[in-house]
Amino acid sequence: MTIFDFEKPINELESAIQELRQLSAEKGLDRSREIAELETQRERLLKQIFAHLRPWDKVLLARHPKRPYTMDYIRLMCEQFVELHGDRLGFDDPAIVGGLAKLGGYKLVVVGQQKGRDLKERQKRNFAMAKPEGYRKAMRLFQLAEKFRLPVLTLVDTPAADPGVESESRGISEAIARSMLTMFQLTVPTVAVVIGEGGSGGAIALAVANRVLMLEHAIYSVIPPEGCAAIIWRDASRAPEAADALQLTADDALRLGLIDMVISEPLGAAHRDPQTTALSLRSAILQQFHELSALTPEQLYQHRHERFRRMGTFLSTP
């Protein structure tokens, strides 16, 4: 597993604790006092490190190979889920999953990008870089939701839409644009959560919702910091500086008025405790759907339009 710089001291402590535990088990020695001491140290260190995360650390956390993915959250949050497949135009894109879910009394359509856990699955899911058929499957499910009056939940986690020749040939731009258009047309409640990487057009294609939330260590960006650094300084290795400049963290998004809520992650980030993260995610989502249930179909449509109408910062000279 990849160990990130800022996580290194924590991981060292964690392996020390692990070793001590093993030692006490094998040799029958009581090392519980030492273990407890190290646990306290670990906790203190986590707090210290996570209190001072830079934007670039968040980028690394959002891309962390152990971070829970869409299907993990669906499994942990939903009472039931049946996955549906295909765009009915010849393809089924594994980079986007979707289906019918039961969540705390709600019947929902859930759609999200899905990363792979091991190399084989990563390749199969194209690193969650969806092709046109992925967005077209999403649109099909959105329309299904509209027809049967099911609220829509989207979980966003993608580095970008697939930029390859094949995707270009099948109209990746049009698919992204039309996915947004379709989401604007809905008259059912819609909630989007950026759970990991909110990578530019590929992300916003699924994030045109009545409420948009972000997990604490998720990012949302118009361009990857590496690409940004390559353009400004002709040096992709200056990505950490670009991450500062782009203001791509959940707190930034909230301050800029682009999202409605930041969902806290457990100390040490989602991958240290997926269960607790899923519980927080679940209650935040239920709260949003509960609040949105007060709106009529027409109001939901208008509310979504007004929400995005306001976005942007500019001056008006007299």
Partner 1 sequence: MQRRVASGSSEQWVQCQKCKKILFKPDFERALRVCIHCGHHHRLRARERIAITLDPDTFVEQDAELRSDDPLRFPDYPDKLMRAQQTTGEFEAVITGTGKLGGSEVVIGVMDFAFMGGSMGSVVGEKIMRCFLRGADEYLPVILFCASGGARMQEGMLSLMQMAKTTAGVEKLQRAGLPYLAVFTDPTMAGVLASFASLADVIIAEPGALVGFAGQRVAAQASSGKPPTNFQTAEFQTEHGMVDLIVPRAQIRPTLLYLLEMFGGAG
Residues that bind partner 1 (CB under 8 A): 129, 161-174, 176-178, 180-181, 184-185, 200-201, 204-205, 207-208, 220-223, 228, 231-232, 245-248, 252-253, 256, 258, 304-305, 308-309, 311-318
Q: How far apart are CA 98 and CA 134, in angstroms?
A: 10
Phi, psi of 262 (to 5 degrees): -105, 125
C-beta of 114 vs 221, nearer to partner 1: 221
Tell me whether residue 122 is exposed, middle or buried, using C-beta atoms within 10 angstroms of its C-beta: 0 to 12, 13 to 18, 19 or more: middle
Q: How far is the CB of 119 from partner 1 (least distance, A)?
A: 17
Indicate the SS3 state at residue 72: helix
Q: How far is the CB of 38 from partner 1 (least distance, A)?
A: 40
C-beta of 222 vs 279, nearer to partner 1: 222
Tell me whether residue 275 is exposed, middle or buried, using C-beta atoms within 10 angstroms of its C-beta: 0 to 12, 13 to 18, 19 or more: exposed
R_g of the chain, CA atoms, integer Å: 21
Q: How far is the CB of 27 from partner 1 (least distance, A)?
A: 53
CA atoms within 13 A on the CB side of 23: 12
Identity of the amino acid at 203: A
Q: What residues are paired with 153 via a beta bridge?
A: 110, 191
Q: How far is the CB of 164 from partner 1 (least distance, A)?
A: 4
C-beta of 126 vs 277, nearer to partner 1: 126
Q: How far apart are CA 75 and CA 68, in angstroms?
A: 11
Cβ–Cβ under 8 Å, residues 180 and 228 = no
C-beta of 177 vs 295, nearer to partner 1: 177
C-beta of 3 vs 232, nearer to partner 1: 232
Cβ–Cβ under 8 Å, residues 205 and 135 = yes
Q: How far is the CB of 129 from partner 1 (least distance, A)?
A: 8
Q: How far is the CB of 171 from partner 1 (least distance, A)?
A: 5
C-beta of 54 vs 102, nearer to partner 1: 54
Which has the closest alpha carbon to 154: 262, 73, 79?
A: 73
C-beta of 100 vs 186, nearer to partner 1: 186
Q: How far is the CB of 305 from partner 1 (least distance, A)?
A: 5
Cβ–Cβ under 8 Å, residues 191 and 151 = yes
